[in-house]
């Protein structure tokens, strides 16, 4: 059974992916990778594989805490621009001096990503503020002024 992932470039960063985590999950636990223990229970490996092929579940679940399960098998450190294999490349070399940290990164609210080209990519959540059609202040002031004069031009109903 072929396990597909959205990005083919991850092939180099995955370490023993099928033999360890996925093989154990499907082969021993009899769990569909997409349903991830939320669906029905299976009694054999063949039943799990048939379910995954029939339902199109030959892919990995990407939401919630399931991403933490896959974190041990991905290693993207070699793609980092400041990664140095000769310096050890271990966890202890990931420490950063406070002098090297860009203050703008610390002020980031998590909704924007500054690309190496200088362009800023942002989440769609931020677009809501830009997509609203807010009235300009001039029209708002004009409306308030018009409301002041209304009692003079028409009879008001007082309860």
The reported pLDDT for the residue numbered 143 is 66
For the chain, give every domain's residue range. 8-83
* pLDDT per position as a tens digit, 91-134: 554 555 555 656 555 555 666 777 788 777 776 665 555 556 65
* pLDDT per position as a tens digit, 145-158: 666 666 666 666 66
| pLDDT above 70 coverage of the chain, percent | 41
d(CA 108, CA 120): 12
Q: Does 47 score more than 70 pLDDT?
A: yes
As to burial, measured by CB atoms within 10 angstroms (0-12 exposed, 13-18 middle, 19+ buried), residue 26 is buried
Ramachandran area for residue 157 (φ above 0: left; ψ -120 to 50: alpha; else beta): beta
């Amino acid at each position: 059974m072929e396990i597909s992932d959205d990005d083919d470039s991850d092939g180099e960063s995955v370490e023993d992916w099928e033999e360890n985590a996925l093989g154990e999950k499907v082969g021993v636990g009899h769990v569909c990778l997409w349903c991830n223990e939320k669906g029905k229970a299976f009694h054999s490996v063949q039943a799990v594989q048939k379910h995954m092929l029939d339902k199109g579940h030959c892919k990995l679940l990407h939401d919630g805490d399931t991403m933490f399960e896959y974190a041990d098998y991905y290693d993207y450190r070699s793609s980092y621009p400041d990664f140095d294999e000769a310096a050890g490349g271990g966890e202890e070399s990931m420490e950063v001096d406070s002098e090297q940290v860009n203050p703008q990164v610390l002020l980031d609210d998590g909704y924007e990503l500054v690309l190496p080209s200088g362009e800023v990519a942002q989440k769609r959540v931020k677009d809501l503020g830009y997509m609203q059609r807010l009235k300009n202040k001039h029209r708002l002031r004009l409306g308030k002024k018009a409301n002041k004069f209304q009692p003079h031009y028409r009879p008001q109903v007082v309860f």
